[in-house]
């Protein structure tokens, strides 16, 4: 009998009981707004910011409404203005170029390597085109950060890190998000902590931090930000920065704080599942596993592999066969955007040049979520199904049933 996976790729674990109790307490108080506190009370958002800053080793932290808002705020705070050009990955998700476009700037796409990280050679070639890089650690793959930062420092490029998929990850022991000027994180349901929506920014520069706090909608209540810069930083900035309200509320902060305390254990559980699936896929004819560098500490909340050089109909056949057996795979080579998946030539508000080498990589990227609701036995089953169906289609191509690329 053919194995079929009966589980869900979108089912998350429940919010921890401690988070539920804290959320109920906030609701009973009625004080959901971060600046609405009783005498002597410290807001949940304030404590969340302090705890996250301590966790990653940053001086300042700001809690906001979403990861996309965090990126837009970071861009404004480092000085990006309408019409400016901003470098960013060609392999990313729509909110990244969307954040650039939202501030009136123009994305300049940088290529992707077969390791699914930004192409440093292409970045060097385009370094004279912009003063800011919005670096996406797409699907948790981290580039050689020493080499990247050396290149950007030498070229006078300010780096903002999009860490939507790397909360809890590190490069060479340095937490993701702390090497650039600003690190931006997401707390959306499918990320490493779940508030439905939400975002966090970290930075060490007090002027950038003050700008971000004002942009988030602090009015003149910035002194309540215990993970914010000293009040002296606001003397001029409070008159110069617009209020672009995007604060996080106390309800979401209450839900998140227990999840942050448990993040190390959760990351270990994700990695256990990731490497179980990866091990089951290794050696599959026609399938390339993405080897992770020794200096990269990953959080395996999703897994990617390459069907390198495959014709589009053959990739689509793999997706169809796996879907019929309950395994949901996403593909970055599709001509049209589907669900959450799109690619740089889908974003037609940007005039972008073709990148043939990157197009060839994107054409083979297959992507799959790895929720913590999967058991290790589920992971084994999923890997067997993918291995079986990739192998079958690959054999058909070899036998001439389909035309290779």
Residue 166 within any structural domain of the chain: yes
372: Cβ–Cβ under 8 A, 6 or more apart, which residues? 12, 13, 266, 269, 270, 273
Residue 404 within any structural domain of the chain: no
pLDDT of residue 402: 55
Q: How far apart are CA 90 and CA 109, in angstroms?
A: 5
Residue 309 pLDDT grade (very low, low, confident, very high; cuts 50, 70, 90): very high
pLDDT of residue 403: 43
Burial call 70-97: b when 16+ CB within 10 Å, e when fewer: bbbbbbbbbebeeebebbbbbbbbbbbb
pLDDT of residue 401: 62
Q: Are residues 232 and 281 in the same domain?
A: no
- If you average pLDDT over residues 244-249, what whole number do you get? 98
Residue 3 within any structural domain of the chain: no
- If you average pLDDT over residues 320-327, what whole number do you get? 98
Residue 9 within any structural domain of the chain: no
pLDDT of residue 27: 98
**DSSP H helices in 5-162:** 17-29, 44-56, 67-77, 95-102, 120-125, 145-155
Do the beta carbons of residue 182 and residue 175 sit within 8 Å? Answer: no
Q: Are residues 323 and 375 in the same domain?
A: yes
Q: Are residues 119 and 241 in the same domain?
A: yes
pLDDT of residue 281: 98
Q: Which domain holds residue 353?
A: 263-398
The average confidence (pLDDT) of the chain is: 96
pLDDT at 128 over 80: yes
How would you list the strands of the sheet with 170-171, edge to edge?
Answer: 174-175, 170-171, 296-297
Q: Are residues 251 and 331 in the same domain?
A: no
Residue 216 within any structural domain of the chain: yes
Q: How far apart are CA 338 and CA 331, in angstroms?
A: 9
Last residue of a domain, one of 212, 230, 261: 261
Last residue of a domain, one of 227, 261, 295: 261
Packed helices 44-56 and 250-261: angle between N→C axes, nearest 10 degrees: 30
295: Cβ–Cβ under 8 A, 6 or more apart, which residues? 144, 171, 172
Of 152, 194, 209, 200, which Cα lies nearest the Cα of 175? Answer: 200
- If you average pLDDT over residues 13-24, what whole number do you get? 98
Q: Are residues 183 and 47 in the same domain?
A: yes
Do the beta carbons of residue 372 and residue 269 sit within 8 Å? Answer: yes
Region of residue 295 (left: phi > 0; alpha: psi -120 to 50; beta: else): alpha
- If you average pLDDT over residues 149-161, what whole number do you get? 98
Residue 81 within any structural domain of the chain: yes
pLDDT of residue 105: 98
Q: Are residues 302 and 245 in the same domain?
A: no
Q: Are residues 62 and 156 in the same domain?
A: yes
Residue 227 within any structural domain of the chain: yes
pLDDT of residue 2: 83
> 352 burial class (0-12, 13-18, 19+ CB within 10 angstroms)?
middle
pLDDT of residue 399: 85
CA 244 from chain centre, in angstroms, equals 23
| pLDDT tens digits along 75-108 | 999 999 999 999 999 999 999 999 999 999 999 9
pLDDT of residue 398: 85
User: Scanning the structure block, which residue is given the tokens 């913590």?
Assistant: 372
Residue 359 pLDDT grade (very low, low, confident, very high; cuts 50, 70, 90): very high
Q: Are residues 104 and 199 in the same domain?
A: yes
pLDDT of residue 405: 41
- If you average pLDDT over residues 126-136, what whole number do you get? 98
Residue 239 pLDDT grade (very low, low, confident, very high; cuts 50, 70, 90): very high
Q: Are residues 57 and 174 in the same domain?
A: yes
End-to-end CA distance of the chain: 32
Q: What is the 3-state secondary structure (H, E, C) of 17-50?
A: HHHHHHHHHHHHHCCCCCCCCCCCCCCHHHHHHH
Residue 10 within any structural domain of the chain: no
Q: Are residues 107 and 154 in the same domain?
A: yes
Q: Residue 110's beta-bridge partner residues?
A: 89
pLDDT of residue 224: 96
Q: Are residues 338 and 323 in the same domain?
A: yes
User: Which percentage of the chain shows pLDDT scores above 90?
Assistant: 95
Residue 404 pLDDT grade (very low, low, confident, very high; cuts 50, 70, 90): very low
Q: How many folded domains does the chain comprise?
A: 2
Q: How far apart are CA 391 and CA 268, in angstroms?
A: 30
| pLDDT tens digits along 31-64 | 999 999 999 999 999 999 999 999 999 999 999 9
Of 182, 185, 213, which Cα lies nearest the Cα of 67? Answer: 185
Q: What is the CATH number of the domain that holds 136?
A: 3.40.640.10
Residue 208 pLDDT grade (very low, low, confident, very high; cuts 50, 70, 90): very high
pLDDT of residue 167: 98
Do the beta carbons of residue 237 and residue 211 sit within 8 Å? Answer: yes
CA distances from 314 to 91, 317, 318, 358 (A): 22, 5, 6, 20
Q: Are residues 120 and 252 in the same domain?
A: yes
User: Which percentage of the chain shows pLDDT scores above 70?
Assistant: 99
Last residue of a domain, one of 209, 234, 261: 261
Residue 212 pLDDT grade (very low, low, confident, very high; cuts 50, 70, 90): very high
pLDDT at 147 over 70: yes
């Amino acid at each position: 009998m053919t194995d079929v996976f009966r589980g869900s790729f979108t089912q998350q674990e429940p919010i921890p009981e401690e988070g539920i109790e804290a959320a109920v307490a906030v609701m009973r108080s009625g004080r959901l707004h971060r600046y609405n506190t009783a005498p002597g009370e410290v807001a949940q958002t304030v404590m969340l910011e302090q705890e996250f800053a301590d966790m990653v080793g940053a001086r300042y932290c700001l809690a906001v409404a979403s990861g996309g808002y965090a990126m837009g705020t970071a861009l404004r705070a480092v000085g990006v203005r309408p019409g400016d050009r901003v470098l960013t990955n060609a392999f990313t998700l729509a909110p990244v170029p969307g954040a650039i476009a939202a501030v009136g700037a123009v994305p300049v796409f940088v290529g992707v390597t077969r390791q699914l990280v930004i192409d440093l050679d292409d970045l060097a070639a385009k370094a004279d085109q912009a003063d800011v890089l919005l670096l996406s650690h797409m699907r948790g793959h981290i580039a050689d950060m020493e080499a990247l930062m050396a290149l950007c420092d030498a070229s006078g490029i300010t780096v903002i890190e999009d860490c939507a998929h790397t909360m809890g990850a590190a490069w060479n022991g340095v937490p993701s998000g702390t090497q650039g000027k600003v690190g931006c994180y997401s707390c959306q349901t499918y990320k490493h902590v779940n508030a439905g929506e939400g975002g966090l920014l970290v930075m060490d520069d007090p002027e950038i931090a003050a700008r971000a706090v004002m942009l988030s909608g602090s009015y003149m209540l910035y002194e309540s930000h215990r993970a914010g810069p000293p009040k002296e930083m606001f003397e001029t900035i409070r008159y110069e920065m617009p209020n672009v309200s995007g604060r996080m509320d106390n309800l979401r902060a209450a839900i998140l704080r227990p999840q942050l305390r448990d993040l190390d254990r959760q990351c270990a559980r994700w990695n256990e599942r990731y490497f179980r699936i990866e091990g089951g896929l290794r050696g599959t004819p026609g399938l390339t596993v993405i080897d992770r560098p020794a200096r990269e500490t990953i959080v395996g909340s999703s897994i990617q592999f390459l069907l390198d050089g495959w014709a589009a109909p053959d990739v689509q056949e793999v997706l169809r066969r796996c879907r019929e057996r309950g395994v949901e795979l996403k593909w970055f080579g599709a001509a049209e955007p589907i669900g959450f998946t799109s690619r740089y030539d889908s974003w037609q508000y940007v005039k972008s040049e073709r990148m043939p080498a990157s197009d060839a990589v994107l054409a083979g990227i297959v992507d799959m979520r790895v929720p913590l609701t999967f058991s290790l036995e589920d992971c084994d089953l999923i890997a067997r199904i993918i291995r079986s169906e990739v192998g079958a289609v690959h054999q058909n191509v070899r036998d001439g049933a389909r035309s290779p690329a």
